[in-house]
Structure 1
């Protein structure tokens, strides 16, 4: 049995020792935010927070999160109370297909938790592990900067 906290709620999953966190999240936990992309920690589509740090769930064993706190994009906010990043991404129209966005939002949330006012270079470094094939990079950078500013200004457009 693997017991951990998932998006603020205690869970216990009875899965084999070699099960990955991504398998557990998308299967028994019923979440669709973390996505399977490459399966080799190369794309960031499966990014989650483990005790506040971004981790790829595609190769992370479920056993490795026993007793820890896991947060997925579903745990960042709700439709009624979205995370500032979620609001900023919508305002900046930062997504197209959206496949990569859940992982990007999770990594950006970790960045802002550790560095509430990041410079553009810090945002780029934090998001480097993520592949986005839609070409939304500049809008994504603006959205993270906008969320960091905490206001509804268009000043974030100056970045990128």
Structure 2
């Protein structure tokens, strides 16, 4: 579910990265793929440990990604990936990462706020039904 949502906004975000940060089309496209991977991996990690509160605050619009430990973790890892995997200078990566992660989180949050995406949809797609049911009680009624 989350991967499909990010894939649907890929063209828009790729264009933004090209325009705002002068990334080449191929680099911008790969940057969005790396952003998706970082967001999904952090969601899986947080969901698996039962620590979704910070990310859900971001999705609900209660916190900016940079104001949550989960958001900061995603941004930090993403900066590393941009520099090591795509060769983007660190000074540029430190501008691209917060922009791209904020963009993605706002879009996901917008879908959740409009009722098109529930927390159960988000986590269920990452974890699968069995694990989601097992974790449901430990995640404070998010489902």
The TM-score normalised by the length of structure 2 is 0.36
- In proportion to residue count, which structure has more helix? 2
The TM-score normalised by the length of structure 1 is 0.33
**Higher relative contact order (CA closer than 8 Å, sequence separation 6+):** 2
- In proportion to residue count, which structure has more strand? 1
